[in-house]
């Protein structure tokens, strides 16, 4: 049986051993480096996701809401306005634009994460009279420590801490 050669000569064993050793050592070194860096970050607590602590809070919050499928959402006013123009805008392509500020990206992340923790309630950005009775707020500073008692058309029901608060729509 004829063999078509991509390299003309038979490869010597020493070259193949070199290839095996090179690949093994460098790939292992890269993987050890990744695992080590992660271990250091874990030990120092440098990178811990700050939003995950909200999970238990929001899961507790939704137990206080009567059965329903839609839950309103609000946040700091400027973030609320930004979300209304992106996440709830048909023109947004779902991508994070290079023009977005870190604060705006944080606002989008808080919205998606709140939706994740609040499932099976479906979040809807609170826009006024026609929305759900109950509204969850996920604030960043300065509102995170001290949620306002009243927001436009909303009244504070309970501050759960960690930036999370439950509001109820005002009827009058």
Partner 1 sequence: MMDAAVLIALPSLIGFSLLIVLGFRASKELHSSLLILCWSLAIGIGVSSALFYGVSRMVKPSAGTLLLVEAGFILVTVAVFFRMRKAATLIRFMRRNPPFPRAGIQPWTQAAAAALLLLMTAYSVLHWLQFPDGGWDAYSIYNLRSRFLFHGENPWDAVNSLIGYHRPDHPPMLTAFVARNWVLLGEEREFVPLMTALLAPVLTAGVLYSGVSLLKNGFAASLAVILLFLPPPMIASVPHLLSDLPLALYITSATVVFALTMHLEEGSWRGLCLTGLFLGLAAWTKAEGLVWMISLPIALAVTGCLRGEVWRRLGEAGWILAGGVGFIVLLAWFKFSIPYEEIPFLIPSFPLNGFRNVFDGQRMIDLMRLIPLELIKFGGVYGFVFPLFFWLTGMRRRPDFETFLTPLLLTLSFAAAAYFAAYVVTPNPVEIHIPRSMDRICLHFWPTVVLAAMTLSNLDSNDESAGHPTVAC
Does residue 53 belong to the site contacting partner 1 (CB under 8 A)? Answer: no
Of 56, 60, 81, 122, the one binding partner 1 (CB under 8 A) is 122
170 Cβ contact list (under 8 Å, min separation 6): 153, 154, 155
Q: Which of 166, 168, 171 is nearest to 59 (CA)?
A: 166
Q: How far is CA 29 from CA 33, 38, 51, 86, in A?
A: 6, 14, 33, 43
Does residue 157 belong to the site contacting partner 1 (CB under 8 A)? Answer: no
Sort 124 into a burial class: Cβ within 10 Å, 0-12 / 13-18 / 19+. middle
Residues binding partner 1: number (CB under 8 A): 58
For residues 82 to 121, the per-residue mask of contacts with partner 1, x marking binding by CB under 8 A and - elsewhere, is: -----xxxx-xxxxxxx----------x--xx-xx--xx-
115 phi/psi in degrees, rounded to 5 = -60, -40
Does residue 63 belong to the site contacting partner 1 (CB under 8 A)? Answer: no
Under the rule (CB under 8 A), what is the footprint of partner 1?
A: 1-7, 9-11, 13, 15-20, 22-24, 26-28, 30-32, 34-35, 38-39, 41-42, 47-49, 51-52, 55, 69, 87-90, 92-98, 109, 112-113, 115-116, 119-120, 122
């Amino acid at each position: 049986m004829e063999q078509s050669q991509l390299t003309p000569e038979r490869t010597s064993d020493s070259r193949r051993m070199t290839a095996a050793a090179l690949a093994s050592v460098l790939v292992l070194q890269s993987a050890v480096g990744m695992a080590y860096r992660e271990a250091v970050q874990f030990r120092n607590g440098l990178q811990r996701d700050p939003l995950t602590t909200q999970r238990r809070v929001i899961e507790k919050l939704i137990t206080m809401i009567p059965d329903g499928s839609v839950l309103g959402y609000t946040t700091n006013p400027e973030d609320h306005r930004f979300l209304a123009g992106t996440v709830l805008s048909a023109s947004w392509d779902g991508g994070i634009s290079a023009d977005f500020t870190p604060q705006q990206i944080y606002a989008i992340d808080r919205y998606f994460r709140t939706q994740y923790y609040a499932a099976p309630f479906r979040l809807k950005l609170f826009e006024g009279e026609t929305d759900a009775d109950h509204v969850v707020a996920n604030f960043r500073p300065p509102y995170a420590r001290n949620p306002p008692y009243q927001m436009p058309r909303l009244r504070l029901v309970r501050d759960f801490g960690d930036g999370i608060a439950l509001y109820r729509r005002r009827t009058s």
